[in-house]
Amino acid sequence: MPARSCEGQEIGDDPVIQQRLGPTERNLYAAMFAWLQRHEREVNREIVWIERYGELFGRDAEFDMEIWLPLRQQD
């Protein structure tokens, strides 16, 4: 099953991602969420990690949240 946003779109087709990321990065986010699904990882726990530690590793935590927060509603 492809990774989907709360609107039911495939993550790689999400308009926010289309505007902010190139094709390689879109595929990366879709792959990350697919991995979470395959390994039955809790998306909420991953979101908390990004919120707490994303900026420490030079990540754009605010942008990461635009992508990951809608997924919280799916769990």
Average pLDDT, whole number, for the chain?
Answer: 61
Q: What pLDDT is recorded for position 68? A: 64
Check whether 1 has a pLDDT greater than 50: no
> How far from each other are the two terminal CA atoms of the chain, in whole angstroms?
15
Higher pLDDT, 32 or 51: 32
- Is residue 3 within 8 A of residue 10, CB to CB? The reply is yes
Check whether 31 has a pLDDT greater than 70: yes
Domain ranges for the chain: 11-72
**Model pTM score:** 0.33
Kindly report the backbone phi and psi dihedral angles of residue 6, in degrees, each rounded to the nearest multiple of 5, phi listed first. -65, -20
Q: Which two tokens stand for residue 45?
A: 């726990």
CA distance 5 to 67: 8
Q: What pLDDT is recorded for position 34? A: 72
Q: What pLDDT is recorded for position 6? A: 47
Q: Which two tokens stand for residue 3?
A: 């990774």
CA distance 72 to 54: 17
